[in-house]
Structure formats: C-alpha cells, structure tokens
Amino acid sequence: MYCIRCGKQGIPIWRDKSIIREKGHRKKLYCVNCRMTINHIEVRTEEEKERFLKDFAAGKFRDEAERSAEYAKEHK
C-alpha cells in the first residue's frame, strides 16, 4: 500500500490470496509519514509500483489526496 499524499510505502496489510482486489484498489489507512488517515493504493508487483511512482511524480493523485485529507479532517 502506497500513500497518495506522500508517495511512500505505508504499513503493509495482510490479505488472503482468495481476496484479490482490482488494480489501483484504494483503502483508507493511517500513513505514518503524513500522520493522518488517507487513501493508499494497493501495489502488488514491481510493475505496479513503478507505475504508481511515475503517476505520483506526474501529480496524478494530487486532487484525490487533497479531498481524502479534507475528508479525514472533517470526520475525526
């Protein structure tokens, strides 16, 4: 799981192999770097990781991260 706000790897979660989510699956998790609950993107392979980092550098998640951070602040 990678944070859409800081782009860093978050706390790994255990997932049963029978419950595989679609590519780009988002999950609200606490980011130890941002110190807030925010959407993270599930990354399963090195290719997905490279794609995420490229999209993050291009600013693809900027608006979504802002909305997610605002939502988290409002619903503490």
Counting every residue written for the chain, the total comes to 76
CA distance 59 to 75: 25
pLDDT tens string, the chain, 76 residues long: the values are 999 999 999 988 887 777 778 888 899 999 999 999 999 999 989 999 999 999 999 999 999 999 888 877 787 6
Domain that holds residue 46: 2-74
Q: How many domains does the chain have?
A: 1
Q: Which residues pair with 31 in a beta bridge?
A: 36
pTM attached to this predicted model: 0.84
